Amino acid sequence: DTEVTQTPKHLVMGMTNKKSLKCEQHMGHRAMYWYKQKAKKPPELMFVYSYEKLSINESVPSRFSPECPNSSLLNLHLHALQPEDSALYLCASSTVGVGTDTQYFGPGTRLTVL
């Protein structure tokens, strides 16, 4: 069983809706990641949090707003999304430190924007 959990598994939203994706890990990791994956493509990094601080933002549009309220939780707030934002959103976590930071992924949230 994965130790990174994501909710919800599926989400359908309209372009005017506000929704949030949640990710939780209980492995004691202090780095957490959001990826976006389109069909038949590899995951694309969106954000990285290290020690609850945003350390990497891959020029993601402001309609995606990440939040890391504590070391175990990672949220992705969604607002005014476009149909092209429909994708699988994956969360991952890892330790912080060279040589130990293998990323472990959650099951993902399949997002459909109508």
Partner 1 sequence: AQKVTQAQTEISVVEKEDVTLDCVYETRDTTYYLFWYKQPPSGELVFLIRRNSFDEQNEISGRYSWNFQKSTSSFNFTITASQVVDSAVYFCALRFAGGTSYGKLTFGQGTILTVHP
Q: Taking CB under 8 A as the rule, does residue 54 contact partner 1?
A: no
Record the tokens describing residue 1, joined without a space: 């069983």
Token duo for residue 39: 């069909």
The DSSP symbol for 37 reads: E
Stretch of residues binding partner 1 (CB under 8 A), selected from 18-26, 48-56, 59-67, 71-79 = 48-56
* 35 DSSP β-pair partners: 45, 90
Looking at 28, 102, 112, 114, which residue binds partner 1 (CB under 8 A)?
102
CB nearer partner 1, residue 80 or residue 88? 88
Rg of the chain in Å (alpha carbons): 13
Of the pair 18, 41, the CB lying nearest partner 1 is at 41
90 lies in the binding site for partner 1 (CB under 8 A): yes
How far does the chain reach from its first CA to its final CA, in angstroms?
A: 32
Q: Which is nearer to partner 1, 18 or 58 (CB)?
A: 58
